[in-house]
Amino acid sequence: MDAIAVFFWLLAALAVAGALLVVITPHIVHAAVGLILALSAVAGLFFLAGAEFLGAMQIMIYVGGTVVLLAFGVMLTARLTFVRMRTTADQWVIAILLAAPLATILLQSAWAYGHLKSAQLSLETKATKAEVVSATDLGLALVGVRPQVDGVNGSERQSALDQTTRDGYILPFELVSLHLVVVMVGAAYLARRRME
Amino acid sequence: MDEIVAHWLQISATSAWFVTVGVALLQVALLLAVVMTLVAAATWAERKVAGRIQDRLGPTRVGGRFGWLQPVADGLKLLTKEDIIPLNADRILFRIAPYLAFAPAFAVFMAMPFSDGWVAQRLNTAAFFILAVLGLEVFGIILAGYASGSKWSFLGAMREAAQVVSYEVPLTFAALIPILLAGSMDLVAIGEAQRGWFWNWFVFHDPFTFVAFWIFVTCAVAGTNRAPFDLAEAESELVAGFHTEYSGFRWSVFYMGEYAAMAAVSGLGAILFLGGWNGPIPLASILGLTEAVGPWAGFFGHFLGAINFLMKCVSGILFMMALRWTLPRLRIDQILSMCWKYCFPLTALCFVGVTIWMLAFPDGVLGIGHPKTETGEFIVYVVKIMAEH
């Protein structure tokens, strides 16, 4: 067992513990803390796999977002100091009905991978770190430029590739932006001071 | 580094997991030593700066000249104080909150290069990683404010949340400008792009970066809750804000977190705008202390760089202290309107300005621009492609 496997199991256990805390605790702030623990542990797993950009994204978007959720969602709406939520029996039944198939699928795909090839995992991580990985290609693809597809100066390959590959991810990116703008306008509309 | 140590001990790197862990622990110990020394020195410096600026006595008699034993006396006092947990508090969260506030401020040093290549973990997205992790500091403070079960703490935490979440936006935008200039999020590469004389530093690259640097400073001070942005504490109105109910060791952890965060943002600013480990005069290359000459010459060259970096770091901390004891505190609405109405549009403007500057003067002005990076050519290329579509 090498260091990477040790840290993998440690982080995986933390993620599961955090997720279980979210489900089990009746205390809403404890649940938020559990969620942050689980998401941070997943970010740690990304770092362990050598995907630093993804790990930092996980922290920025999910962990940071949950912190904001905790601050504004829970604290501003909660009238009582300690909010307790009770899960009724019918809610448990529905939750188990929904969660059990998902758990089955996830466990199946986890086992289909075979053993967690820890030795190979460590070698792969080292190999990824050796070569220069940069987020530049991804960022450019988001604005619709794909130098690795186009070639930096040649235009011969461009014609061979179809239009969708050349456009990169500009359309989905813009759609997501539009979606966020709609959400923000909606939030501002709901939160506005009502003038009578 | 673990490969080198494993080779040195003549064992294979894949089998010896304890080498990896040992080297990691060594790096953590080194970082902890540097950060804790900075924190201890900062607690003493804070009193001295306050004494100078506000014309009051700083520490004078607590051991030795200039009261340099003050941090030791502080530490002993805090450790021997009674540890109190209020009856209304959420006991578990109250206990873990100080550590959650301190951990991010320390964790960022993992990716912070102290000199060319002297970094615990060289991440290719180090700047982004540091910004992401620094943003988590607010979590510990919100939790402390909530778990204390006190109105002072709660109000402090809510103000803190509004403030830090807002100021993260212009801070990240301002940090984006050096990333754009260097064409990389790797802090080692950003530092290397500013090598040479001091006019190669990104702060002197063009007027827009100069403005962006001061916005970065403003947002960094706001992000660490220092006066004039210390609304989360607000001694005169909220007693001590989010840490009203804390005492003894737990309180001191918050204190350490604040100073570690100051050191972290100063270090980030030094690398992004002030040339990092490159001094105003390229002393190392003039004296021939480079890797090309020999390993020991390279080591001393890097060592000079680390001293440069730490001096910039300390200057940043001292500047923040001088600011704290000079300016009065702002109101929460003033803070938020300053962030959204001034800092944020200005950074956006600077960002566009820098892009245009790189298009207009790809070789710099007066022939002393920064060493050419690929980003300028890249922007021309991107604009060309987008025009074709």
Residue A123 confidence (pLDDT) = 45
Rg, Å, chain A Cα set: 22
pLDDT, mean of residues B336-352: 89
Q: How far is the C-alpha of B381 from the C-alpha of B360, rounded, in Å?
A: 14
Residue A18 confidence (pLDDT) = 92
Look at B247 and B262; give whichever has higher pLDDT: B262
Residue B362 confidence (pLDDT) = 66
Look at A77 and B300; give whichever has higher pLDDT: B300
**Which positions in chain A touch B124 (Cβ < 8 Å)?**
52-53, 132-135
The pair phi, psi for residue A27, each rounded to 5°, is -90, 125
Q: How far is the C-alpha of A73 from the C-alpha of B344, rounded, in Å?
A: 24
pLDDT, mean of residues A16-29: 85
pLDDT digits (tens, 9 = 90+) for B115-141: 887 877 787 788 888 988 888 888 888
Q: How far is the C-alpha of B153 from the C-alpha of B101, rounded, in Å?
A: 15
Does the pLDDT of residue A14 top 90, yes or no?
A: yes
Q: Which residues of B touch A (CB under 8 A)?
A: 14-15, 17-18, 20-21, 88, 90, 92-93, 123-125, 128-129, 131-133, 135-136, 138-139, 142-143, 146, 149, 154, 157-158, 161, 165, 183-185, 381-382, 385-386, 389
**Nearest Cα residue to B250 out of B136, B153, B135, B130:** B153
The residue of chain A nearest to residue B156, with distances taken between CA atoms, is A71
Is residue A84 helix, strand or coil? Answer: strand
Residue A86 confidence (pLDDT) = 72
Q: What percent of chain B has pLDDT over 70?
A: 84
pLDDT, mean of residues B168-193: 85
pLDDT, mean of residues B365-375: 53
**Which positions in chain A touch B133 (Cβ < 8 Å)?**
56, 59
Residue B329 confidence (pLDDT) = 81
Does the pLDDT of residue A184 top 70, yes or no?
A: yes
Mutation target vs B (from A30, A67, A138, A140; most B CBs, 10 A cutoff): A67
Please give the single-letter amino acid code of residue B213. Answer: F
Rounding to the nearest 10 degrees, give the CA dihedral for residues B342, B348, B352, B358. 90
Contact B213, B161 (CB under 8 A): no
Tell if the CB–CB gap between B124 and A132 is shorter than 8 Å. yes
Contact B260, B178 (CB under 8 A): no
Q: What mean pLDDT is reported for chain A?
A: 73
CA distance A30 to chain B (A): 8
DSSP letter at A82 equals S
**Nearest Cα residue to A20 out of A99, A118, A97:** A99
Contact B1, B23 (CB under 8 A): yes
**Nearest Cα residue to A11 out of A38, A36, A32:** A38
The angle at the Cα of B260, spanning B274 to B96, to the nearest 5 degrees, equals 150
Please list, in sequence order, all residues whose beta carbon lies within 8 angstroms of the beta carbon of residue B114, skipping any fewer than 6 positions away. B34, B277, B305, B306, B309, B310
Does the pLDDT of residue A26 top 90, yes or no?
A: no
The predicted complex's ipTM stands at 0.78
* Residue B118: strand pairing partners: B115
Residue A76 confidence (pLDDT) = 61
What is the token pair recorded at B323?
């600011």
Please list, in sequence order, all residues whose beta carbon lies within 8 angstroms of the beta carbon of residue B24, skipping any fewer than 6 positions away. B2
Please list, in sequence order, all residues whose beta carbon lies within 8 angstroms of the beta carbon of residue B297, skipping any fewer than 6 positions away. B288, B289, B290, B291
Does the pLDDT of residue B77 top 50, yes or no?
A: yes
Q: Mean pLDDT check: name the lowest of A109-118, A168-177, B91-100.
A: A109-118
Q: Mean pLDDT check: name the lowest of B12-16, B148-152, B225-229.
A: B12-16
Look at A148 and B227; give whichever has higher pLDDT: B227
Residue B233 confidence (pLDDT) = 67
Residue A97 confidence (pLDDT) = 92
The pair phi, psi for residue B244, each rounded to 5°, is -55, -45
Q: How far is the C-alpha of B229 from the C-alpha of B387, rounded, in Å?
A: 44
**Which positions in chain A touch B142 (Cβ < 8 Å)?**
67, 70-71, 75
Tell if the CB–CB gap between B386 and A145 is shorter than 8 Å. yes
pLDDT digits (tens, 9 = 90+) for B22-57: 777 888 888 888 888 888 888 888 888 888 888 887
Contact B68, B40 (CB under 8 A): no
What is the token pair recorded at B36?
């804790």
pLDDT bracket for residue A154 (50, 70, 90): very low
CB contacts < 8 A (A, B) = 95
Look at A56 and A79; give whichever has higher pLDDT: A56
Does the pLDDT of residue B221 top 60, yes or no?
A: yes
Q: How far is the C-alpha of A118 from the C-alpha of A116, rounded, in Å?
A: 6
| Max CA distance (Å), chain B | 73
Look at A102 and B183; give whichever has higher pLDDT: A102
pLDDT bracket for residue A119 (50, 70, 90): very low
Prediction pTM value: 0.80
Specify which of A24-28, A119-123, B39-43, B277-281 reaches the highest per-range mean pLDDT: B39-43
Whether the bond between B371 and the residue before it is cis, its omega within 30 degrees of 0, is: no
**Which positions in chain A touch B14 (Cβ < 8 Å)?**
2, 119, 122-123
Does the pLDDT of residue B317 top 50, yes or no?
A: yes
Tell if the CB–CB gap between A71 and B136 is shorter than 8 Å. no
pLDDT bracket for residue B224 (50, 70, 90): confident
**Which positions in chain A touch B128 (Cβ < 8 Å)?**
53, 56, 60
Residue A13 confidence (pLDDT) = 93
The angle at the Cα of B330, spanning B327 to B338, to the nearest 5 degrees, equals 110
The residue of chain B nearest to residue A50, with distances taken between CA atoms, is B123
Q: How far is the C-alpha of B256 from the C-alpha of B134, rounded, in Å?
A: 14
pLDDT, mean of residues A17-37: 85
Residue/partner pairs of B68-72 with CB below 8 Å, 24 or more apart? B68/B44, B70/B43, B70/B44, B71/B40, B71/B41, B71/B43, B71/B44
Residue B180 confidence (pLDDT) = 83
Q: How far is the C-alpha of A134 from the C-alpha of B385, rounded, in Å?
A: 21
pLDDT, mean of residues A79-105: 79
Residue A28 CB: number of other CB atoms within 10 A? 19
Residue B247 confidence (pLDDT) = 77
pLDDT bracket for residue A101 (50, 70, 90): very high
pLDDT bracket for residue A41 (50, 70, 90): very high
**Nearest Cα residue to B173 out of B142, B124, B218, B133:** B218
Q: What percent of chain A has pLDDT over 90?
A: 10
